Amino acid sequence: MAYRVIGASPARADAWEKVRGRPIYAGDLALSGMLHGRIVRSPYASARIVRLDTRAARALPGVVAVLTAKDVPRNELRMELPGRMAEATAGAVLATQPVLADDRVRFQGEPVAAIAADTPEIAAQAADLVEVEYEELPGVYDPLAALAPDAPVVHEGGNVLRRWHLRSGDVAEGFARADVVVEQTYRTPFVDHVYLETETGIGWVDAEGVLTLRVSTQVLEHFRDVAEVLQLPHARVRLEGAYVGGGFGGKEDVTVECLLGLLVWKTRRPVQLVFSREESFIGHGKRHPYVMRYRSGATRDGTLTALEAELVSDSGAYAALSPWVLLYSLVTATGPYRIPHVRVEATTVYTNNPVASAYRCFGSIQTCLAYEGQMDALAAALGIDPLALREKNFLRKGDALATGQVLETEPLLAETMRRAWAGLGERRARRGPTRLGRAVAASFTPYGRMCWTRDSASAWVGMELDGTAVVRCAAPDVGGGQTASLCAITAEVLGLDVERVTAVGRDSHFTPRAGTTTATRQLLMSGNAVLNAAREVRRHLSAAAATLLEAAPGDIVLADGRAFVRGAPDRAFPLASVVKTAIAEGRPVQALEKYDAPAAPTIDPLTGQGKAFNDYTFGAHAIEVEIDEETGRTRVGRLVACYDAGRVINRASAQGQLEGGAVQGLGYALMEEIALENGVSKNPHLADYKIPTSLDVPTIETVLLESGDGLGPFGAKGLGEPAMTPSIAAVANAVSAAVGARVTELPITAERVFAALRATA
């Protein structure tokens, strides 16, 4: 089928505005009488609060409020999944966390008091005047140490937060059949999202007494969390989504919302709360560190026979989304391969380290490092080409994952891998004291939430009298082009140019609920909701056009802003005329529609058998690295990313996702790490926490295949998170190929590479 808008690269409506610096972010707003918020945070990772004295801070001129735990109506944030209260869902893994610490702090940066003052300077001065006496307590700072029987306990009930199990076949039999067995332990660190805009919000109480918050967030449904903490009716809290200066999962959790809402509600004045960069580093959720012990077996011809894995992740001080991150790791632990005998034990534990929660790829990127490292190690042990080994064992249509889920579409794994590899071109000659390494990494990543959450999204599409269209959908746009995609879908269905479609959204009070911009779900969920609504509007417009053109509704074509009979485009009516005719005939020219994701029961908790996710995005990265033998410095020279996108909605946005995911992955692989000493960050600032700059970005080629097999609009699949998944594995495998030894720990710093070079000299 030929598309007019879908697959093209129309300029996004906000593109020029952002280039010119015109969008108003939450931190840019200033209201009359506005106060400035400041949070007092614990400098210790594990301590008891012996005394908390706020009198000096309260006495400071210009200070309006100094709030502590006793001032919070319900000092407990409860959540199972973002946007859903834990009490509202069956089988909840209840994640709780105090809004303000009461008698105990469990991580460095835990909020202890909240201040509102006339100026940022007064608020900072007041924070320094809050006297907190702490008694340091024993803590636990290593996830493996947290499993020891005598380890300090972070929460009553023990340090094990959640376990998941995966069983398929007979692992003992599988390893008995293997001619080669490879065992490795892989380690990944805490890393930060480092978005350009820190956690930010502004709030006020409107004329109707509604607490209104405009926040940089991925989740408008957090208005419910604020309402519960303040013990207000949900309808008394309104959340508006501001422009988001980067999210990557870090603004999926509650960030400023409850603290800001508390200050606004208590003072009844506008308040702005902006976290400093250091606060952002120590105060919000990180990517989980993992320790992954893998054992893989294969026959002499390269057939995989068995996989055994033990995954331990560090949840930090509170649960947040750790159980679900671990579930993603469990499901993806085998990689996109047919393995008849599998056993995986996955555990997430509490420590006194920073809280770990959502970050792009949500548990599937850590396991990719391990399963792709195993594939290259097996290939070396067997003397088989790594690409050939993968291709021999790739999942195909009709195959079952280790969870028992049968793939109903062709995953195009071999195609994506071969196209990525071919994109590297001819091998370059070595120059000077350098080593070159090339490698590939394949991956599969879910898009959409777990099946048993019964996910849904709603959207409204309507026509204006001038023939333009409006989309109303509460999907937060976090910079990935979510709004542009919804406009493109509407334009395609209604035969309009994208410029004649306007999107209105990001308001919990006035736009249909669309759920969270997380889990690579918005194109699937809101995209399908918009598609359903646009098709319903089209049905009514076609009926009205049939009256004007004296034809059957099924013969009407909407294109180029006109309606005409198929095969006779010369006789046409502008959509404005069609809209007026529809209204005159009493036909609706708008529709509110819903999309419900296919549902399935919860997977078996003891075996992991069942359907965890509805579909997956498959892709591959191929990378060439150059290593300086004298320093160990690694430079990525070329990177090719190839994915089956199902159907590309906006080509420029899709390519941007692949490029951004690749660069973010390079930072994770080569340089990023939160350095901790007994739970205290040693590098909570950009001077010492390194991320890639433009000078670190290699030549990147993106290749998009279109199977049309996705569950999204027109057969699309999600790309936001999958774009990053294979990145760290590809880098690790390429460095391993260059130095002649397996690299199994991130980040792959120059020091580690140099040590590996010396060990293999």
CB 707 within 8 A of CB 483: no
d(CA 324, CA 161): 11
Tell me, what's the pLDDT at 90?
Answer: 37
> In CATH, what is the architecture of 290-397+411-450+602-760?
2-Layer Sandwich (3.30)
Tell me, what's the pLDDT at 91?
Answer: 43
Q: How far from 21 is each of 27, 196, 231, 499, CA to CA, in Å?
A: 13, 14, 39, 21
Strand partners, 680: 677
SS3 at position 335: coil
d(CA 340, CA 410): 19
Residue with tokens 């908390």: 52
Tell me, what's the pLDDT at 89?
Answer: 42
- Summarize pLDDT for 439-492 with one digit per residue, the tens: 999 999 999 999 999 999 999 999 999 999 999 999 999 999 999 999 999 999
Q: How far from 640 is each of 369, 653, 657, 734, 749, CA to CA, in Å?
A: 17, 17, 13, 13, 22
d(CA 761, CA 754): 10
Give the residue ranges of the chain where pLDDT is below 50. 85-92
Judge: domain 26-137+199-274, CATH 3.40.50.450.
no
Tell me, what's the pLDDT at 319?
Answer: 96
CB 137 within 8 A of CB 45: no
What angle do helix axes 575-584 and 522-549 make, rounded to 10 degrees?
80
d(CA 351, CA 292): 17
CATH topology of 290-397+411-450+602-760 equal to that of 456-596? yes
Tell me, what's the pLDDT at 84?
Answer: 58
SS3 at position 114: strand
Residue 742: partners with Cβ closer than 8 Å, 6 or more residues away? 184, 373, 376, 377, 736
- Summarize pLDDT for 340-379 with one digit per residue, the tens: 999 999 999 999 999 999 999 999 999 999 999 999 999 9
- Where are the chain's structural domains? 26-137+199-274, 290-397+411-450+602-760, 456-596
Give the pairing of strands 160-168 and 341-350.
antiparallel
CB 336 within 8 A of CB 410: no
Tell me, what's the pLDDT at 430?
Answer: 82
Residue with tokens 């003072």: 267
Q: How far from 647 is each of 2, 7, 415, 617, 714, CA to CA, in Å?
A: 12, 7, 16, 12, 6
Q: Helices marked H in 383-521 — which ranges?
A: 386-393, 413-422, 482-494
Fold of 456-596: Aldehyde Oxidoreductase; domain 4 (3.30.365)
Is the peptide bond prior to 747 cis by the omega test (within 30 degrees of 0)?
Answer: yes
User: What radius of gyration do the chain's Cα atoms show?
Assistant: 27
d(CA 230, CA 210): 12
Q: Would you list the DSSP string of 383-402?
A: T--HHHHHHHHB--TT-B-T
d(CA 600, CA 697): 42
